Chain A
Amino acid sequence: MAVDAIPLTEQSRLAVHQVLHRRKDEAGALLPILHDIQDELGFIPGDVVSDIAAALNLSRAEVHGVITYYHHFRTTPPGRNVVQICRAEACQAMGADALFAHAEEHLACKAHHTTEDGSVTLEAAYCLGLCASSPSISINGEVHARMTPIKFDRLMAEAREQA
């Protein structure tokens, strides 16, 4: 889905420059920089690619290539909650496919999309390391195991209320 470039606020740009100032001399600094920016802003705006490239003496293509290579980095703002459901083998063995289908239906939202009200971004994960307590999910980095559709709906209601 194409998204119009969102103009960066002065505050966001300042945050990016602080990250660059702090990190740019580290060996192999690009990934830590991208993590810090995403942690700070929720995503990596296309606008900052040239700033990062200039700070690290890289081409914009190299920076763009790294951002788009890794599943973790996003270039558009996520919903207020990011929900990841594990789809790997151990969770599949305990009904993860059905859980994922339930989540898509309950949220009226497909994988790697955000609900219409902007409250939840639904993503697939490939292993959260809770393979003896499957199926597992993560909500904003908090893990939940032995998931059932009923528990899922309750957690979603709680998350949406808080957001």
Chain B
Amino acid sequence: MSISIYVPRDSAALAVGADRVAKAVAAQAQNRHIDVRLVRNSSRGMFWLEPLLEISTPEGRVAFGPVEPEDIVDIFDQGLGQATQHPLYLGLTAEIPFLKKQERLTFARMGITDPLSLTDYEDHEGFEGLQRALAMSGQDIIQQVLDSGLRGRGGAAFPAGIKWKTVAATPAKQRYIVCNADEGDSGTFSDRMTMEGDPFMLIEGMTIAGIATGATVGYIYVRSEYPHAIAVLNEAIQIAEAAGYLGSNILNSGKSFSLIVRKAAGSYVCGEETALLESLEGKRGIVRAKPPLPAIEGLFGLPTVVNNVITLASVPIILARGAVFYKNFGVGRSTGTLPFQLAGNIKFGGLVEKAFGLTLRELVFDFGGGSASGRPIKAIQSGGPLGTYIPESQWDLPLDYETYIGIGGTLGHGGMVVHDDTADMSKLARYAMEFCALESCGKCTPCRIGSTRGTEVIDKITSGKDREHQVVLLKDLCNTMTYGSLCAMGGMTPNPVLSALNHFPEDFGLTNAPAAA
């Protein structure tokens, strides 16, 4: 009987040598004439353990990690799955606390299956949502999504079902489903993992969205920094088409849906939905004024659903298991789960899918094990470059959309970037303004000019020139940016700036927290 050995193909595994490990496994198997089935699976999302090697045993899959190519000889010598005395042996993968404590709905297959194996996907609930959707009316599908309480996972948290309903209700000769895979926020990688590790789930979610709203064409706009994701998606689309899950007459239903992958070109603001649409149309990624809403006048002026990868990837399980099942996870109006991403200066970094409502402290300490440097944690940025720096006094609040809005923050895309006590918060605040200046599309003045003035004012504050007055100026500038910008780029850049200033005034050379603006 052959033994299955798993070495992930996720970028985060490749970036630490997974290909070399896979090669070593294949070579050893050949030398020893052992019948090994080498599977290049997706990643479990325990990135401190990558490359993670898994071996099938009668009790289940056991793990070793982080594995170097040189370790492979020993693992083979000690009997592969029986190598329980090997220093890198981690026991049954599913029993590793970091994984066991999670509630993986969207990421249920992650690390388990081969991303491009249709059989693996079908064996793990794949396409069950689509099968159900094909037997339902578009209206009923939308009702399921509405009832699940699913909100946009890209950051804005707008109810997905309402977007879909608007698109379906707008008369048009063509409608579009656009997947926003321009995951530009530092600290986030759940979209990348989904595209590289479970592409059929995204394809299924988009197809369901198409059937529900009457759209027959979908675009996936993927950032150019993700070449592996683009390659996997293109391959998966071909496989799904060949098997009748995509294209014309899906599973003999008479319904059609086709998908096109579009490569972005390194503009952060194209993660904003209207700039993204401009870019898809072949123009500069300049933000559009709303209204008109993209749901009414979107891509090429036609009704368009624009949803994030995780939003669309959450749809199959909602259809497969029902809205009630999904809604029973989470708290208040934050229903379901969020794939949180632990990043930056963190000991056990990776992907943690949990129902809304746990705390940042649980996430960063119980799952993340504290800082990688071993030093005290100073601040945690929640929600990407436009997110707030959260000081320790707020680490015990529940992670849900409303609570975070209440403290002037955002959960965003669920990325949490940890900084230890060596971080200079004035430097990070300056970087936020600098990044905004670099990435501003230039359409509105508060963002285009405000960001450059912001870096200058922060420089004056830190160099002690007329400090008190400059703090007043900075707050005034942030106020203008918050309320005067066209989109979140300029509108939310003040989040990291002001949270750094308010919670860590000493880093700006101030003795007391500045009075509220």
Contacts and interface: CB of A to CB of B under 8 A. Distances in A.
Interface residues of A, number: 43
Given A65-B284, A89-B385, A125-B225, A71 B344 contact: no
B75 interface: no
A131 B225 CA distance: 13
B262 A32 contact: yes
B187 A89 contact: yes
Interface stretch (B357-365, B418-426, B472-480): B418-426
Interface in A128-151: 128-134, 136, 138, 141-146
A12 B15 CA distance: 33
A143 B186 contact: no
B186 A127 contact: yes
A125 B439 CA distance: 12
Contact of B16 (A69, A71, A88, A133): A133
Nearest to A93: B344
- Tell which of A66, A88, A93, A144 has the most Cβ of chain B within 10 Å: A93
Interface size class of B (residues with CB under 8 A): 35 or more
Interface stretch (A3-11, A23-31, A101-109): A23-31
Interface string B1-24: 000000000011011100000000
B44 to A, nearest CB: 12
Contacts, number: 151
A96 to B, nearest CB: 10
B404 interface: no
B48 interface: yes
A134 B283 contact: no
Given A31-B282, A72-B265, A89-B381, A128 B225 contact: yes
B265 A35 contact: yes
B224 interface: yes
Contacts of B16: 133, 144-146
Contacts of B485: none
B344 A32 contact: no
A89 B417 contact: yes
A105 to B, nearest CB: 20
Interface in B302-350: 341-346, 349-350
B134 to A, nearest CB: 27
A27 B385 CA distance: 32
Contacts of A66: 282-284
Contact of B344 (A31, A70, A94, A145): A94
Interface string A69-107: 111110000000000001011111110000000000000
Contact of B48 (A132, A136, A144): A132
A34 interface: yes
B487 interface: no
Nearest to A147: B15
B50 interface: yes
B76 interface: no
Given A88-B186, A94-B345, A133 B419 contact: no
B282 A28 contact: yes
Contact of B186 (A30, A89, A146): A89
Interface of A: 27-32, 34-35, 56, 62, 65-66, 69-73, 86, 88-94, 125-134, 136, 138, 141-146
28 contacts: A28-B262, A28-B281, A29-B282, A30-B282, A62-B283, A65-B284, A66-B282, A69-B267, A70-B265, A70-B266, A71-B266, A72-B264, A90-B186, A90-B344, A91-B186, A125-B225, A126-B186, A127-B186, A127-B188, A128-B11, A130-B12, A131-B188, A131-B189, A132-B12, A132-B346, A133-B48, A133-B50, A134-B343
